[in-house]
């Protein structure tokens, strides 16, 4: 079983839709959770990070962590064509980082 | 500009010919690591380094070497590349591993024939 599981999609939504991206993890020692966005031919860039259960909001993005069910979510409100990218969830324990396989999102104008 | 720089961006080589992919960061980060990204498998950690002269294996270290002689540089060495090492490679750095996100380079696409 992979440390972090993510639905690969692809996901296609109309502009303005609310997008929900989800991951599950298996390691109870994970404390620090991240969402990265990766555009084609680019390295992943950090979008959001949270340390504890609950919600964290940044503009149109909300990261949610539920440690009791080991579930991580990213919500994108009022999605834009520029949000079209691959989204990676990640966590770490000690010195090692673990990533989901990524969900490909396309926002159609 | 704060960044992680990898070179080269693209590399085509033949089986068995030693190669080095360079990685440099200008943020005075202590932690650096290498990943490979493959379709369906996502990002997998190859090696990481907590500081100068301190390196350790990640999940997929076989066939790779690293060194950390200076804080800013963390080269990835393939002594005898094989076709199964064809992949997209990323270097990343951070101040530490808690409350400190990874900053990634733009990747090196390696093809081994």
Q: What is the pLDDT along chain B (113 residues), one digit of tens a residue?
A: 879 999 999 999 999 999 999 999 999 999 999 999 998 888 999 999 999 999 999 999 999 999 999 999 999 999 999 999 999 999 999 987 666 788 999 999 999 99
Neighbours of B8 (CB within 10 A): 12
pLDDT for res A96: 83
Residues of A in contact with B102 (CB under 8 A): 34, 44, 46, 97
Burial of A56 (0-12, 13-18, 19+ CB in 10 A): middle
Tokens of A20: 């929900």
Omega before residue B113 within 30° of 0, cis: no
- Contacts of residue A59, defined as CB under 8 A and 6 or more positions apart, other chains included, come to none
Tokens of B11: 């590399």
Residues of B in contact with A100 (CB under 8 A): 42
pLDDT for res B18: 97
Residues of A in contact with B43 (CB under 8 A): 44, 88, 90, 99
Determine whether the interchain pair B107/A41 forms a contact, defined as Cβ–Cβ distance below 8 Å. Answer: yes
Angstrom distances, CA of residue A24 to CA of A1, A42, A44: 11, 25, 20
CB-defined contacts A:B, below 8 A: 58
């Amino acid at each position: 079983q992979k440390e972090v599981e993510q639905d690969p999609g692809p996901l296609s939504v109309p502009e303005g839709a609310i997008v929900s991206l989800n991951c599950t993890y298996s390691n109870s020692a994970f404390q620090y959770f991240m969402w990265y966005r990766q555009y084609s031919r680019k390295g992943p860039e950090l979008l959001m990070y949270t340390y504890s259960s609950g919600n964290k909001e940044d503009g149109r993005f909300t990261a949610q962590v539920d440690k009791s069910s080991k579930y991580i979510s990213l919500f994108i409100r009022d999605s834009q064509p520029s949000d079209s990218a691959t989204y990676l969830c990640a966590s770490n324990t000690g010195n090692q980082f673990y990533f989901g396989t990524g969900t490909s999102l396309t926002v159609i104008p | 500009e704060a960044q992680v720089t990898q070179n080269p961006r693209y590399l085509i080589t033949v089986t068995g010919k030693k190669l080095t992919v360079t990685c440099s960061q200008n943020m005075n980060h202590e932690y650096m690591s290498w990943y490979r990204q493959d379709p369906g498998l996502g990002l997998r950690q190859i090696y990481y380094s907590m500081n100068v002269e301190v390196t350790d294996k990640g999940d997929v270290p076989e066939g790779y070497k690293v060194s950390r002689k200076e804080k800013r540089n963390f080269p990835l060495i393939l002594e005898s590349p094989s076709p199964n090492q064809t992949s997209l490679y990323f270097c990343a750095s951070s101040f530490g591993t808690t409350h400190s996100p990874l900053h990634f380079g733009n990747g090196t696409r390696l093809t081994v024939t």
